[in-house]
Structure 1
């Protein structure tokens, strides 16, 4: 028996309720809105040039949508695994469901399975993996392959092969952050595509390593110095991992969100008070990824705890314009006052809880703090269906969609639970204005 076989069996014996399908549809809405909201960006233009979405094959369509979904930094996040499952699993599932003209319910069930595989592998890689490897990129192929296996109707052996084929394609290094390169979008694009290819090959009898995770020369041995294999199948009867996945309210790295949430609370209390010192306590991974005192481009600013806290404290909001050149100049003085440190209690709770404490000292000597153990969008502090629809609407319209079309698109996604054909989403038609054939 292998870990991948155990995982396939765990997933295929979990109960799927109507509530689970409804929740799955909300995550589809979030991911597709993130993707279509990014259509007018330069990375989107490049992705479309390399993988034209209306003429590419199924795997390359997953590649295109997977890359597109991650551009705006608004896609979902599973804390325990430190993965963004939606931008990998949903593009893969959509590409196959669209190509095979499948109904919404099968599509939504496959997404539940894909999230489960991605998140459980992510929880098993250990903390050290994330210091070098981008978990979404390395663990994502397992999720996209599992979703694809469900939609292709693979039997157990073939599904295990699909996961083996997926795991051998795992990659994705954090080095892109040093220069603000676009590679992060490639990570999600390839993770989505790799899973589709892995499952398609398995469907044809192309075998994959059954012990790809725990084998002597497998995934854990090569990429993980402190793996936790038991996490892969721990508590199999608990709710689907999609229900433990967070939705982002702000367009920047999720590691910045607990501090943003705390800083917004302080902004409401401070008014125009002059600050002399700003301190942020967080967990080590947040500092490893987001310690950037002098971000010199919008992407770096999205990965700067100093900038995100400064803009939240100063302006009381964080949106797409909060990272442009003007915003970076406006808060340069406040950003310089921000110091970061690892807080022992917050570090001990990570990754089960992503927390932060923000403390400010005013010019007249007052000290105020705000702490978060669950940021807005976490399961303990959720974005509700109305708030999510509003986020999706703003993203869709921001990407160039007409107001009426955005409203109809949201309704179409929600009605997937009624087994509406996935093809009715017609993503290729919706992106035509931004990327003409």
Structure 2
């Protein structure tokens, strides 16, 4: 994208005009098809977090159940409805809990984890059609991505901000404003109120419970919906949040590129088209390395007991996030050894430590080194270039380099693989019949007059005949 700038006040007005005038028919068919695929994948991630064995989902849904509220919107996998804002909080938190949701590599974002919960809550509140729900997800993902690129995703990390949370709040505001039918003036206010609430610190990296990390997606969904609901009632907000005074750019970036907000707006949909589907339950930074490691293991027929040490070279800008992180989902020293086990890496491995029960995992975890590589920084975040070197117990050194993981647009998963992942994730709480019905409901969203069928299948309590499946 180029970086052509608008005049003072122009960026906020341009976004408000675009959101208020957005129409599902303006979204190309290929973009809508990609969105349905991402909604399917994100819905599986949501249901996986409804498994009672996942503490994050259990705790956040327990809170909103206790608080109570008007039955406006679905809480995923719990068999009850509550106020739309609290539903967005709970579902947004669950959307990122298991670290298996679609992600945007270049933007370093998890927009589906925010947009599906926001659009579900706002869509149920507004009585929206399935087509408008899908369009809202596209809109929110696109504007979240544009803001992250305008602020600079690495820049946000370097300042200690979580791009998915900060930018996700604006994407959620856009999705909710569209579904609730805000006009341009109301949308200007909603965007300003999003700016007042935009937040999310990388401090979650020090929380080994894995609760604070997904909570920030819940915050973004809740805050974006709140901004739109208040603006719809006439509540005022800053009128030039992207343009004048204490702007988003001034708060969250030292080197912004504001033109990313509007360049080719309405003709490009990179926010949804460039999303990647995760084949592994872990931070996306580790996925090229996981592909490389498992490729070496297959080629040379290595088991975990054959491996003496693993070295992973990664861009300095991202290596700090995976080097010895107390969060198992973000810890190379944990994820790489677990992936080599017979069972492989499973969702629930993020919530109980296999180093405590598997001596081989514990041994190899102490022999994993992450090298912070300044040379690889030149390619980051456009590519998550990773060099994996495996030293075997018999003295061999086996090396591979990869920057594009399976599941990226350049190396997409087969439809059968996507469906198998969906069935496994949903299988933690849903029977095979319910899983099949949910997939059909998602693929039929554009013809659905409302969200009742999708919401009903997502919101039902765990089935007694669920398989308890776990993605590996």
> Secondary structure of 2:321's match?
helix
The one of 182, 185, 202 aligned to 2:231: 202
In 2 relative to 1, CA 270–429 (structure 1 residues): closer, same or farther, beyond 3 Å?
closer
Following TM superposition, by how much is the alpha carbon of 1:109 offset from its aligned partner in structure 2, in angstroms? 0.9
Q: Deviation string for 1:156-195 (max 9, x for gaps)?
A: 2222221111121011112222132411222111110111
User: Does structure 1 residue 4 correspond to structure 2 residue 12?
Assistant: yes
Contact 2:88 2:218 in 1 (8 A): yes
3-state DSSP class of the match of 1:143?
helix
Q: Secondary structure of the equivalent of 1:278?
A: strand
Please say if 1:51 is aligned against 2:77: no
Aligned equivalents of 1:271, 1:118: Cα separation in 2: 43
Deviates more, 1:233-242 or 1:55-64: 233-242
- Work out the CA distance in 2 between the residues paired with 1:321 and 1:105: 34
Whether the 8 Å contact between 2:434 and 2:457 is mirrored in structure 1 is no
Partner of 1:191: 220
Q: Does 1:94 align with 2:120?
A: yes
- Structure 1 counterpart of 2:261: 232
CA shift, 1:214, in A, is 4.2
Cα gap change, 1:7 to 1:345, in 2 (>3 Å): farther
Are residue 27 (structure 1) and residue 57 (structure 2) matched?
A: no
Tell me what 1:421 maps to. Answer: 450
Q: Which of 107, 114, 119 is the equivalent residue of 2:145? A: 119
Match for residue 335 of structure 2? 308
Residue 266, structure 1, aligned to residue 296, structure 2: yes
Aligned twin of 1:74: 100
2:4 corresponds to? none
Change (3 A) 1:86 1:20: same
Task: Tell me the secondary structure at the aligned position of residue 81 of structure 1.
Answer: coil
Distance 2:145 2:176 in 1: 16
TM-score normalised by the chain length of structure 1: 0.91
Where 1:432 maps in the other structure, the secondary structure is coil
Give the SS at the match of 1:357: strand
Which position in structure 2 is the counterpart of 1:103?
129
Q: Quick check: 1:361 aligned with 2:391?
A: yes
SS of the aligned residue for 1:245 comes to coil
Q: Deviations over 1:52-88 (max 9, x none)?
A: 3434222221112111111111111112221110111
2:344 matches 1:317? yes
Q: Offset at 1:112? A: 0.8
1:268 touches 1:316 (CA, 8 Å); kept in 2? no
CA drift of 1:394 comes to 0.8
Tell me, which stretches of 5 or more residues in structure 1 are unaligned? none
Unaligned runs of 5+ in 2: 1-8, 66-74, 464-472
Which residue of structure 1 lines up, in the alignment, with residue 405 of structure 2?
A: 375
Contact 1:358–1:370 (8 Å) recurs in 2? yes
**Aligned match of 1:255:** 285
SS at match of 1:369: strand
Would the aligned equivalents of 1:2 and 1:210 in 2 still touch at CA under 8 Å?
Answer: no
Q: SS at the partner of 1:246?
A: coil
Deviation at 1:244, TM superposition (A): 0.5
Q: CA deviation at 1:34?
A: 1.0
CA deviation vs aligned residue, 1:35-59 (integer Å, no higher than 9, x gap): 1111122222221222234342222
Paired residues, number: 429
Partner of 2:363: 333
User: Which of these residues, 55, 61, 64, is aligned with residue 90 of structure 2?
Assistant: 64
Deviations 1:115-154 (A, max 9, x none): 0111111112222211311111111110011011111222
* Larger deviation, residues 188-197 vs 1-10: 1-10
8 A Cα contact 1:354 1:373, kept in partner: yes
Q: 2:319 — aligned with what?
A: 287
| Cα distance between partner residues in 1 of 2:190 and 2:421 | 35
- Supply the distance in 2 between the matched residues of 1:108 and 1:347 (Cα, whole angstroms): 36
Cα 1:314–1:151, aligned 2, differ >3 Å: closer, same or farther? same
